[in-house]
Amino acid sequence: MNRKIIVVGSTNMDMVVTTHHIPNPGETVLGGSFFMNPGGKGANQAVAISRLGGDVTFVSKIGNDIFGKQSAKMFDDEGVDIRSIKSEVNCPSGIALITVDEHGENSIVVAPGANASLSESDVEESVSQHPNCAILLVQLEIPIQTVAYSIRFARERNIRVILNPAPVNVNVKPFLDQVDIITPNVTEAEMLSGCSISDLESAEKAAVKIKDFGVEIVVITLGSRGALLLDDDGACHIPAPNVDPVDTTAAGDVFNGALAVAIAEDKNMRDAVTFACKCAAISVTRMGAQSSIPYRNDVLLTYVK
């Protein structure tokens, strides 16, 4: 069974430069290649869901500019339901400036633009049009009050909520008891829990601290080490496939999109996290954000021999 997923989040245009190493403060370095690629955490996750076979509606704001128009066309071409994407006349589209080093690690600065105007009423109008929605996936590149409202509005309608707390904002703590699944990476988990993470044991301690806020399920993504899952059955380490990374820019977004798809297909959490790890591993072998997102057939061909 493949049920409706609604993503509430950001749309950006990513401007990417490759370089030997990410500059230190005050340092100028010569870069390599430059390219522009549609991005934004919400947009990446919506595209990932569609490519991986999910039924997705995207709630977002874009500017009335060339970047916004390109993004809207791209979403439509990808099979994302764009009826809840609105154009903001008085704001430019969001942009992200991304530096990627030779190890595939990245440094990102985001100018939110129209994303900052995504409102509670936008969410209410959009979610109300889908009474059979099963999952709402939201991140933190939009106003925190809109995130809080989205979670509360979904919870009142028995819609399962997945929160990807990125970029991390400790102001989410008061409403974590309304979140079903939270998916921080190591840095985000450390900031939310107050625990330093260096291994699986410390990751589990951080997950327990986060779960104590009232979250039902905690999934800490560990990069090349996979993910740590903590639910009512206890903690479980899900390893990631071994790959040679090229660019990690959208790996977390692919993970979250894949997780939502697997849950919408009624997979259990361990199988869902395993699927998400596999999809994210494929993405880090490719450059760019949305250009790195795999299709369902990519996953099947890679892992089913």
Which residue, chain included where needed, has tokens 């995130």? 147
Q: Which residues are catalytic?
A: 253
- Tokens in use for 140? 């933190």
Report how far residue 4's alpha carbon sits from residue 265's, in angstroms, rounded to the nearest whole number: 10
Nearest Cα neighbor of 7 from 75, 78, 52, 60 is 60
- Tokens in use for 45? 């996750």
Nearest Cα neighbor of 159 from 132, 130, 135, 128 is 135
Which stretches within 134-245 are classed as H helix?
Answer: 144-156, 186-193, 200-211
- Tokens in use for 28? 């100028």
- Work out the number of other CB atoms within 10 angstroms of the CB of residue 34: 9
Report which secondary-structure segment, H or E, holds 260.
helix 251-264
Nearest Cα neighbor of 95 from 116, 109, 75, 76 is 109
Whether 121 and 84 have beta carbons less than 8 Å apart is answered as no
- Tokens in use for 176? 């974590």
Q: At what angle do helices 269-283 and 296-303 cross, to 10 degrees?
A: 100
Gyration radius from the chain CA atoms: 18
- Work out the number of other CB atoms within 10 angstroms of the CB of residue 180: 18
Whether 122 and 59 have beta carbons less than 8 Å apart is answered as yes
Report which secondary-structure segment, H or E, holds 238.
strand 234-238
Burial of 300 (0-12, 13-18, 19+ CB in 10 A): exposed
